[in-house]
Structure 1
Amino acid sequence: MTVTGIVKVALVTGAGSGIGRACALRLAEHGYRVVLAGRREAALAAVADEARALGGEALAAPCDVTDAASVAALFETIRARYGRLDVLFNNAGRNGSPVDIDELDIDEWRLVVDTNLTGVFLCTRAAFGLMKTQNPRGGRIINNGSISAHAPRPNSIAYTATKHAITGLTKAVSLDGRRYDIVCGQIDIGNAATEMAERMARGVPQANGEIAVEPLMDVQHVADAVLHMAQLPLSANVQFMTIMASKMPFVGRG
């Protein structure tokens, strides 16, 4: 994938497994130089090997998105190696314990907020600074918002609060990026078949107090959706997209 003869560069956070892995491989398969960020170096190296087997180029770059110095080092690596960044997929995230709010430890609350919100802020801040100064300038930022950006699951106060906040961050970056040809959109994903969603197939708590098995969809549909968003020209933007298992509890009352 090129822009005016330049090979495009994409950064995927949380790239070692699940949605991040699937999206990174799809981007690599379609010609992007993909930087794989995450905390688990061995998992990132394995995904990089998969990308190369598909004929793509990938760089494993261990990073803790909650740490400002670690994020700064990641972007310095990108700047030194490629000189630019065209797509950032802010995908890294974590859940909190499924307990009532009064039972959620403050340290766990902060860990979820640091990962799901502050981590996105740190990566977006660094990407914004690079994108507005590179030549050609501009780029695309895609945030993983989740169905929880719209509707909570029971006992998910920290995760839901951060995902609602991502929607506000997406809108603000979309507005502030206009003058620099930086676009920002959000993809809200529901029940993609990954390690994180395995519990859905076993049964999870519902709003009415029941435990129910929920339908899942192939994670490759998410990868295709992210690729579609990434490949648009900067004159067009998917501001918000919801992709979900068709029969999961979301639309209506269940």
Structure 2
Amino acid sequence: MSSSLAGRSAIVTGGGTGIGAACATRLAQDGMNVTICGRTESKLTEVVDRIKAGGASGQIRHQVTDVTVESDVAALVANHVEAFGGLNGFVANAGGGGGMGPYHLLDTDEFLRVLHLNVLGTMLSVKYSAAHMVAAGGGSFVGMSSLAGH
């Protein structure tokens, strides 16, 4: 299949499961070179192997990354750009919930963990990817959310 995505590249956070794995699969099938990341290497390797076995025309690689750690996100983007020569898209899919309920009953540490994962992780993804997409003449940034954010 001919695709306008062929030869371009993207990063997908939270790529080891669910929606992130599905996004990475589709992008690689459409010819994009994709880096997936997450915190659990075994899940990432399984997705990479499945995408390769499916005959995707784009290349696929993985990198263990905690999106709440700035140096991890900086290294993720730098390694992707080095591997593929640039960056055209970013799917900020890493996220999660927990500790929902009345504020006076919330555990502060759990609240901060979720805040860092869902907000800081996306901000760091934009911070380190935007300049590369501008240098490429444009790109797309997709930020995932959930019902908990409405």
TM-score by length of 2: 0.90
Larger Rg over CA atoms: 1
CA RMSD of aligned residues (A): 1.5
Quote the residue 2:97 is aligned against: 95
Write the deviation string for residues 137-192 of structure 1: whole angstroms up to 9, x where unpaired. Answer: 21000111223333xxxxxxxxxxxxxxxxxxxxxxxxxxxxxxxxxxxxxxxxxx
Q: Matched residues in 1 for 2:43 and 2:85: separation?
A: 25
Q: Which moved more, 1:69-78 or 1:49-58?
A: 49-58
Alpha-carbon spacing, 1:44–1:82, altered in 2? closer, same or farther (3 Å): same
Quote the residue 1:70 is aligned against: 72
Quote the residue 2:142 is aligned against: 142
Equivalent residue runs for 1:48-197 within 5 Å: 48-56=48-56, 57-134=59-136, 137-150=137-150
Q: Matched residues in 2 for 1:7 and 1:41: separation?
A: 26
Q: Matched residues in 2 for 1:100 and 1:15: separation?
A: 31
Q: CA deviation at 1:118?
A: 0.5
Quote the residue 2:46 is aligned against: 46
Q: Secondary structure at the match of 1:132?
A: helix
Q: CA deviation at 1:100?
A: 2.2
* Aligned residue pair count: 146
Gap regions ≥5 residues in structure 1:
151-254
Q: Matched residues in 2 for 1:130 and 1:30: separation?
A: 21
TM-score by length of 1: 0.55
Alpha-carbon spacing, 1:9–1:42, altered in 2? closer, same or farther (3 Å): same
Quote the residue 2:21 is aligned against: 21
Q: Matched residues in 2 for 1:13 and 1:37: separation?
A: 5
| Contact 2:89–2:133 (8 Å) recurs in 1 | no
Higher RCO (CA 8 Å, separation ≥ 6 residues): 2
Runs of 4 or more, structure 1, over 4 Å off, are: none
Gap regions ≥5 residues in structure 2:
none
Write the deviation string for residues 91-139 of structure 1: whole angstroms up to 9, x where unpaired. Answer: 00011224321121111111111100000000111110211123xx210
Quote the residue 1:181 is aligned against: none
Q: Matched residues in 2 for 1:16 and 1:22: separation?
A: 9
Q: Matched residues in 2 for 1:87 and 1:131: separation?
A: 7
